[in-house]
Structure 1
Amino acid sequence: MHHADSVSATPSIAQPPRRQTPSIWCNRLGRIAAIFAIVTVIPPATTLRADPADRSADLQQRIDQMANRGIEFLRARGQADDGSFSGETGAAVTALAVRAILEHRGTAGTNDPVVRKALKYLEDMVQPDGGIYRKGSLHRNYETSTAVMALVKASEDPNIGDRYNSQLQRAEAFLKDIQWDQGEGTESDDTAYGGAGYGSHSRPDLSNTAFLIEALRELDNGPDDESIRKALTFVLRTQNLDGQGNNTEFADKIGDGGFYYTPAAGGQSKAGETDGGGLRSYGSMTYAGLKSMIYAGLTRDDPRVVAAMNFIRDNYTLDHNPGMGAQGLYYYYHTFAKALAAAGVEVLDDAEGKPHDWRAELVNQLESSQQADGSWVNDQSERWMEGDRQLVTAYVLLALAEAKR
């Protein structure tokens, strides 16, 4: 678990295509490729390969070997009798684990008794208000968003099909209802507008908003959906970039194109503030911001995407979470992989012009840190629950799925 006005320039938006599956709630893995197929301007931070399918069989095999060991850890040692993974988090880690397993096992994974038991646990978390969370939860958005991702992926199995349609429709309505907007007395000029929070804090944040956007996208909401547009307004206010949607007091104090945690309730960056009151950008939030902009329809030549990619180029590393060190390291790997895959980046040139095959480098990094039991854990910092092997292993499996895709 991670900490999670109108746009001043109109973003360039393309509606992505839909992948045909038995369920209307299927995962839209192909939509980003269509967004970028029409873009010809490439920012200096990236170089694209002609054919990602040419990635070596050796790399694919190494990913499979790691994933098999990680999944076996979850199957053999990670699940409680009630079907949950780290059930103290309610639906969250269970949902991430289910999604992670299915990313590698495909529709056949739903036949696994471990997955079936976990899905039943998620079904039992469905609340009368449509949310999917443990009763009394302080993290309703996070739990519901991750549960949506698990149920959508499971619905790709023809044997499941439309079984979860009702739950997903109600979850979608729930997520849109708890978004910070007029329903919460928040107008478009408020720094909280459009964001999503845990529910236990009196303000939204970028991490939770990124989960919200991804869940709504999985539920077939495109860039022109009102809730996605509202969320984009919040996302842009978390970017250190003046005149491009961030009209807060922090917009021009750093200007490096990276992202911080929240502009709301006085503003906060988990990486701290500058002497001049600027909110420092850091790695995990910058990748969360990039991913969210792409999912919300901004194209690769949009100045906000270019600025984010420039920050990423200038701070490229897999040794630590830039600005945070070891804190949130595996959340960082997870957002790193999802964002670069969504942005269509294959080879990334760093600030010195050195090219990086990020997929191969990520595989090397994760291979070196896999534990003897097949799990992963942050042995340098337990902040944001990264001492929890179930959560961290799920993060890694999701990152590996992007490296393999």
Structure 2
Amino acid sequence: MLALFSLRRGLAIAALVAFCSPILAADDDRAAYDKAITSAINYLAGQQNEDGSFGEASPIGVTGLCTAGILSHGRTADDPVAKKALTYLESQIKEDGGIYAEGSTHKNYETSLAVLAFAAGNKDGRYDKLLAGTDKFLKGIQWDASEDKEESDTFYGGAGYGGHKRPDLSNTAFMMEALKATGTGPEDEAMKKALIFVSRCQNLESEHNTSEFPAKNPDGGFYYTIAAGGNSQAGETPNGGLRSYGSMTYAGLKSMIYAGVDKDDPRVKAASEWLGKHYTLHENPGLGQQGLFYYYLTAAKALDAFGEEEFGTADGAKHPWRAELRKELLGRQQKDGSWVNETTRWMEGSPVLVTGYTLLAMEYVQPEAGK
């Protein structure tokens, strides 16, 4: 009887631990991962508008993001939800090759995210002609000599929300990713120009950045923009320097790698060292909970591009970042399959947008086969 009681007690405790620790149990569980992905895609399917778009604010950008997220997990362009969304995006193509709303001031952002969706659905080449048009459009609105900007100008090489907006690192990173998705390599002039702008958004004094800001805050991280007097969403240091922060530093690292900069380059070393000092999955370093899911997506893409399965941090630790980020994301999923940020800045109060971000991030943190 005592043995039976002990067995029952042990089973009860085991069941309680399993119930209270679903994230730990799911960490390397392929079934749990697949269930989370299916639940998220089903959530988005239920939120799709009649015209095929997703979201209310900036529907072209959000639709591109969500569609790319869906297609990144084994769905094809003929999947009913994806097909309806891609048809909507096709209806927004303009004569200049861009994909944006009438009167939009977010042409680069909208087109770049739409490109990610079409590139993901282009396994059979059905969108080759369309993507050739977007490629030409994006290169055409990049700040360069065609906009009367010489290489010495802080606008040079960057991309902003629209042709008449100052360029920033976020938009430039989206543009570079879209160009990469269509086959543009580091040798392309657009990538070389973009690298000039990206390098100037780093707190690192070098021949690539001779502005006033790195000397005021020489920590190797990245800030929002060097253009129009410079700006950091994390604010300024007391001496007028621009504070580095997490999402932009991952964006800078990713963009430099896409532009062909290798790990031995001082720019990459400085960025990875900054990230090693501030490695966390609980906040966007420098901004707290603001832009947290954008941070997760940018971190996933940057660390994948960096090419190390364990990311070394300043304390000497080696982080299996894919497993750690997977665990964090699985633990933040809502019961309806969505993800959302309680800190709503930059539209992250929208579960549709945030679920799109997270689906794309989850592509890079899949469990190893057989787990």
Q: String of CA shifts for 1:31-59, please: whole Å, max 9, x gaps.
A: xxxxxxxxxxxxxxxxxxxxxxxxx9934
Match of 1:242 in 2: 205
TM-score, normalising length from structure 2? 0.89
Determine whether 1:197 maps to 2:160: yes
Match of 2:344 in 1: 382
Looking at structure 1, the residues matched to 96 and 163 of structure 2 have their Cα atoms a distance apart, in angstroms, of 17
Looking at structure 2, the residues matched to 390 and 373 of structure 1 have their Cα atoms a distance apart, in angstroms, of 12
Determine whether 1:133 maps to 2:95: no
> What stretches of structure 1 of length at least 5 have no aligned partner?
1-55
Does the residue aligned with 2:215 lie in a helix, a strand or coil?
coil
Match of 2:335 in 1: 372
Post-superposition shift, 1:90? 3.5
Does the aligned pair in 1 maintain the 2:200–2:208 contact within 8 Å? yes
Letter in 1 for 2:258: Y
Structure-2 change in CA distance of 1:66 and 1:178 (3 Å): same
RMSD: 1.5
Looking at structure 1, the residues matched to 34 and 263 of structure 2 have their Cα atoms a distance apart, in angstroms, of 30
Q: Kindly tell me the number of residue pairs found equivalent between the two proteins.
A: 342
Post-superposition shift, 1:63? 2.4
Match of 1:184 in 2: 147
Looking at structure 1, the residues matched to 191 and 312 of structure 2 have their Cα atoms a distance apart, in angstroms, of 31
Structure-2 change in CA distance of 1:57 and 1:363 (3 Å): closer
Post-superposition shift, 1:110? 2.4
Letter in 2 for 1:164: Y
Looking at structure 2, the residues matched to 328 and 320 of structure 1 have their Cα atoms a distance apart, in angstroms, of 9
Does the aligned pair in 1 maintain the 2:221–2:244 contact within 8 Å? yes
Does the aligned pair in 2 maintain the 1:288–1:335 contact within 8 Å? yes
Match of 1:399 in 2: 361
Match of 1:62 in 2: 32
Post-superposition shift, 1:351? 1.7
Match of 1:4 in 2: none
Post-superposition shift, 1:200? 7.7
Looking at structure 2, the residues matched to 397 and 66 of structure 1 have their Cα atoms a distance apart, in angstroms, of 9
Does the residue aligned with 1:111 lie in a helix, a strand or coil?
coil
The share of aligned pairs that are identical, in percent, is: 54
Looking at structure 2, the residues matched to 110 and 122 of structure 1 have their Cα atoms a distance apart, in angstroms, of 12
Match of 2:276 in 1: 313
Post-superposition shift, 1:184? 1.1
Does the residue aligned with 2:354 lie in a helix, a strand or coil?
helix
Worse overlay, 177-186 or 344-353: 344-353
Does the residue aligned with 2:229 lie in a helix, a strand or coil?
coil
Structure-2 change in CA distance of 1:235 and 1:59 (3 Å): farther
- Partner residue of 2:326 out of 346, 363, 368: 363
Q: String of CA shifts for 1:248-294, please: whole Å, max 9, x gaps.
A: 11122111110000000000000000011110000000000000001
Name which structure has the greater RCO, CA cutoff 8 Å, separation 6+: 1
Post-superposition shift, 1:201? 6.3
Does the aligned pair in 1 maintain the 2:77–2:122 contact within 8 Å? no
Runs of 4+ that moved beyond 6 A: none
Determine whether 1:294 maps to 2:257: yes
Letter in 1 for 2:38: N
Post-superposition shift, 1:64? 1.8
Does the residue aligned with 1:88 lie in a helix, a strand or coil?
coil
Match of 2:65 in 1: 96
Match of 1:40 in 2: none
Post-superposition shift, 1:162? 2.9
Looking at structure 2, the residues matched to 73 and 325 of structure 1 have their Cα atoms a distance apart, in angstroms, of 27
Post-superposition shift, 1:309? 0.4
Match of 1:22 in 2: none
Letter in 2 for 1:252: A
Post-superposition shift, 1:392? 0.3
Looking at structure 1, the residues matched to 133 and 27 of structure 2 have their Cα atoms a distance apart, in angstroms, of 42
Match of 2:91 in 1: 124
The structure richer in helix per residue is: 2
Looking at structure 1, the residues matched to 238 and 322 of structure 2 have their Cα atoms a distance apart, in angstroms, of 37
Post-superposition shift, 1:244? 4.5
Match of 1:261 in 2: 224
Q: How does 1:2-21 map to 2 (within 5 A)?
A: none
Q: Which has the larger radius of gyration?
A: 2
Match of 1:74 in 2: 44
Looking at structure 1, the residues matched to 29 and 279 of structure 2 have their Cα atoms a distance apart, in angstroms, of 21
Post-superposition shift, 1:60? 3.5
Post-superposition shift, 1:163? 2.5
Match of 2:315 in 1: 352
Structure-2 change in CA distance of 1:239 and 1:131 (3 Å): same
Looking at structure 2, the residues matched to 61 and 361 of structure 1 have their Cα atoms a distance apart, in angstroms, of 17
Q: String of CA shifts for 1:336-370, please: whole Å, max 9, x gaps.
A: 00000011021112221122111111111111111
Looking at structure 2, the residues matched to 129 and 330 of structure 1 have their Cα atoms a distance apart, in angstroms, of 32
Looking at structure 1, the residues matched to 211 and 30 of structure 2 have their Cα atoms a distance apart, in angstroms, of 44
Worse overlay, 172-181 or 79-88: 79-88
Match of 1:32 in 2: none
TM-score, normalising length from structure 1? 0.82
Looking at structure 1, the residues matched to 293 and 164 of structure 2 have their Cα atoms a distance apart, in angstroms, of 23
> What stretches of structure 2 of length at least 5 have no aligned partner?
1-25
Q: How does 1:320-359 map to 2 (within 5 A)?
A: 320-359=283-322
Does the residue aligned with 1:138 lie in a helix, a strand or coil?
coil
